[in-house]
Amino acid sequence: MTDSCNSFKRLSQPSHWPPTPAPGAPAHRLVGPLPERAITCKPGSVGRVTATPPATTPASPDVSSSGTRPSDQRPPVSVPPQTPIGRIPVQDVRPVVDHGARPAKSVVDEVFTVSATVFREGHDAVNASVVLVDPQGREVLLPMRCTNEGLNHWEADVAADRVGLWSYRVEGWSDPYGTWEHDATIKVNADVDTELMLEEGARVLERALEEVERTPEQARPLRDAVTGLRDSRRPAQARLHAAIDPLVHAELAARPLRDYVTPSAAHPLLVERERALYGAWYEIFPRSEGATFDEETGRWTSGTLRTATERLPAIAGMGFDVVYLTPVHPIGTTARKGPNNTLDAGPDDPGSPYAIGSPDGGHDAIHPDLGTFEDFDFFVSEAQRHGLEVAMDVALQCSPDHPYVTAHPEWFTTRADGTIAYAENPPKKYQDIYPLNFDNDPPGAYAEMRRMIQVWLDHGVRIFRVDNPHTKPVEFWQWLIQDVSREHPETIWLAEAFTKPAMMHTLAKVGFQQSYTYYAWRNQKWELEEYCRELAGDAAAYMRPSFWPTTHDILTPYMQFGGPTAWKLRAALAATLVPTYGIYAGYELIEHVARPGVEEQIDNEKYQYKDRRWEDYEPGGPKEGHSLAPYLTRLNEIRRAHPALHWLRNLVFHHVDDSNIIAFSKRRTLPDGSEDIVLVVANLDPHSTRESTVHLNMPALGFDFHDTFAAHDLVTDESWHWGEHNYVRLGPAGEPVHVLAIRRF
């Protein structure tokens, strides 16, 4: 005999089971030990949460296929150190973050999979449901499907429709109707106990009518089935089929008769706004935007927040969603760094904006050269007018001239000789920066950092990019992010933590919505696939990656020597592999020259002004056609037009014969039922044009293996007739990347 999951899947479910509830099905009450609020499932293949409710049935003891109501008596249960396992074991619920100590994450309408192992003794049918609870305590019951009969593995695809703190649990239950259908199908076909089986089916359906509240219209298929089962004038097969009709299946899927309902623990789910998962960032140093150099005096004039505002139309025009500002605060003069990180800064050298603090103020002030808070507010309002959000750089470190140094010396580490320890990452030394010490006066330091963040919240900032969060206590970030979210739950935090995986993952678990990643150093096909599978797998329940091909700190050898092809390729991969990616200003100009001995740009903006003369690259300018701005614009247009690229967990890789060519796809069902499918094929070798064959996982694209489809290149506007196996030629001789929209013929 087969196990219960197997038998139920094979015999008591048609191929479309569980069927979609009828549109507009009214809500019903919950009874038994389940919560008293009503719950429902929005129509569709994916259980989307609505504020409207349905019904379930009592969590009664088990019942045989005879349809007899079981006893209400309860058995004794185990005591610590054992925890009662429940009548129907529900195990290994996922996603669960740190055993439920921290919430799993999603964004509004993002589909993710809840899974569990659910089974029972014997051969009676077992079933499972997910119960989602919204921030107001309303519930929705979603059917699960058995995806691995041998391992009793159950899954349901779910999505929450609004922000807030939700919860979910998995409920395992005995399925009296499924048990009866399985047994009756075998026995009636063999003419064994035929009348008895038909009568027992009628009694099961009568229980379903009695114990689960239904409208007359909803009850009609079940009443008709009871009548058919007891109509002795008809053949036995016809009577049986009256009770296993698709209409009966549909009604019992929407409002099942459930025995022995056994819930798992409730697990928290934090649902956030879409920008927490999806967005294109553009980084600028405000002082460089509008900076000018006087050839006669040899002196620079700093750009300002007002001149930086003039750059916003171009950034928005390229299709970016977020403009990220490096620190805008006063900069210290003690131990100020000169050009290219030298220690001999001249009187006109601006210093590093990460050496924060001077007599002009600290983290709650604006550098006088950049302007005033009125200018900052103007920048924010203009950014919003152009459809951009402003991200603020938070670097919790101080120059020796910061007001904190004299007002709160206890917030720093004092060495044996009485001096304050400056930042070091041997062999690197940062003499212009004092790290904060949060352990000497936690209440005072925590409160001041919270006050400082509030200053920028009050000026319209809702995204913070945090510099080196891994050098501060994790519990500090956990507290700060949660405290800010009480009044501003829309706030997003990006962790710039290029460090060991345990710290990166834990920062995400305690609250950071996004994280920089190792993407810049993952260049080979095998390591990109391995890394992205990790990010799109279990880690996606709490960690959202942000891919940056370069930053003001990072210029890898791949980018130094790969030429324009590498810069196009890495931007395209970053923009399509993950939902959030970022570009550092000047990327479009292919600024590839590194300072000797380090992997960062020469004449780095961290230490000096940079006038890129953007106007030279405009139409009619002397460098027209020498910018990747049109390519970046096209990538962002593609991202906005294709919602499949807004998600992470839908990433699927496909096989390519050449180890230098990578292929992956993303697929998403849209609210109107149509599908958005994007397939990317890229040559990772920026120096050679390569030819190979791509072998597609057709079911992952929604096709049968023999199907063909239209593959439209969204970059070049070319189209091809593709199927399971396809020839490609990519590289510097043409385009390094196909970004293909897939359409059925």
For the stretch 181-212, pLDDT in tens is: 999 999 999 999 999 999 999 999 999 999 99
User: Residue 428: its pLDDT value, please?
Assistant: 76
Taking the C-alpha atoms of residue 226 and residue 220, their distance in angstroms, rounded to an integer, is: 10
pLDDT tier at 15, thresholds 50, 70, 90? very low
Domain end position, chosen among 636, 657, 680: 636
* 111 within domain boundaries: yes
Taking the C-alpha atoms of residue 142 and residue 165, their distance in angstroms, rounded to an integer, is: 18
The position carrying tokens 């956990």 is 478
The position carrying tokens 């058919």 is 228
Residues 572 and 627 in one domain: yes
Q: When comparing pLDDT for 20 and 578, which is higher? A: 578
Burial code of 255-292, b = ≥16 C-beta within 10 A, e = fewer? bbbbbbbbbbebbbbbbbbebbbbbbbbbbbbbbbbbe
Instruction: Specify the CATH number for the domain of residue 461.
Output: 3.20.20.80
Taking the C-alpha atoms of residue 665 and residue 650, their distance in angstroms, rounded to an integer, is: 8
Structure tokens at 287: 């002082």
* 434 within domain boundaries: no
Residues 592 and 728 in one domain: no
pLDDT tier at 70, thresholds 50, 70, 90? low
Q: Of all residues in the chain, what percent are helix, strand and coil, respectively (each to 5)?
A: 30, 25, 45
Residues 516 and 616 in one domain: yes
pLDDT tens digit sequence for 666-699: 999 999 999 999 999 999 999 999 999 999 999 9
Taking the C-alpha atoms of residue 135 and residue 419, their distance in angstroms, rounded to an integer, is: 51
Nearest 10 degrees: Cα torsion 197, 203, 209, 212 = -90
* 423 within domain boundaries: no
pLDDT tier at 66, thresholds 50, 70, 90? low
CA nearest to 222, candidates 182, 256, 260, 261 = 256
pLDDT tier at 74, thresholds 50, 70, 90? confident
Q: State the sign of the Cα–Cα–Cα–Cα dihedral 415, 451, 277, 142.
A: positive
Residues 553 and 663 in one domain: no
DSSP category for residue 411: G
* 222 within domain boundaries: yes
Residues 544 and 629 in one domain: yes
User: Residue 429: its pLDDT value, please?
Assistant: 83
* 431 within domain boundaries: no
pLDDT tens digit sequence for 16-39: 333 333 333 333 222 233 333 333
| Catalytic member of 134, 181, 393, 467 | 467
For 46-70, give the DSSP string.
Answer: SEE--S--------BPP--TT-PPP
- Do the bridges between strand 514-516 and strand 164-174 make them parallel or antiparallel, or are there none, so unpaired? unpaired
pLDDT tens digit sequence for 220-233: 999 999 999 999 99
Taking the C-alpha atoms of residue 196 and residue 479, their distance in angstroms, rounded to an integer, is: 64
The conformational region for residue 371 under phi > 0 = left, psi -120 to 50 = alpha, else beta, is left
DSSP category for residue 334: T
DSSP category for residue 469: G
Domain end position, chosen among 234, 250, 272: 272
Instruction: Specify the CATH number for the domain of residue 104.
Output: 2.60.40.10
In sequence order, which residues have a C-beta less than 8 Å from that of residue 482 and are 6 or more positions away? 511
In this prediction, residues 635-661 reach a mean pLDDT of 98
The position carrying tokens 């962002």 is 636
How many Cβ atoms are within 10 Å of 411's Cβ, its own excluded? 23
**32 near 59, Cβ under 8 Å?**
yes
Residues 701 and 561 in one domain: no
| Catalytic member of 183, 448, 496, 605 | 496
pLDDT tens digit sequence for 413-463: 999 999 999 998 777 788 999 999 999 999 999 999 999 999 999 999 999
**304 near 290, Cβ under 8 Å?**
yes
Residues 320 and 233 in one domain: no
CA distances from 264 to 34, 49, 254, 514, 532 (A): 12, 20, 21, 29, 31
Residues 611 and 657 in one domain: no
Structure tokens at 425: 């990452």
The position carrying tokens 């790969």 is 562
Domain count, the chain: 3
Domain end position, chosen among 588, 607, 636: 636
Which residues span the domain enclosing 554? 279-395+445-636
CA distances from 119 to 81, 148, 262, 263 (A): 23, 12, 11, 13
Taking the C-alpha atoms of residue 141 and residue 670, their distance in angstroms, rounded to an integer, is: 22
Structure tokens at 602: 């020469």
Residues 150 and 247 in one domain: yes
Taking the C-alpha atoms of residue 439 and residue 482, their distance in angstroms, rounded to an integer, is: 20
Is there a catalytic annotation at residue 161?
no
Residues 582 and 609 in one domain: yes
Residues 268 and 288 in one domain: no
Strand, helix or coil at 305?
A: helix
First to last CA, the chain: 45
Residues 479 and 611 in one domain: yes
How many Cβ atoms are within 10 Å of 634's Cβ, its own excluded? 19
Is there a catalytic annotation at residue 496?
yes
Instruction: Specify the CATH number for the domain of residue 675.
Output: 2.60.40.1180
* 226 within domain boundaries: yes
pLDDT tens digit sequence for 148-167: 999 999 999 999 999 999 99
**495 near 471, Cβ under 8 Å?**
no
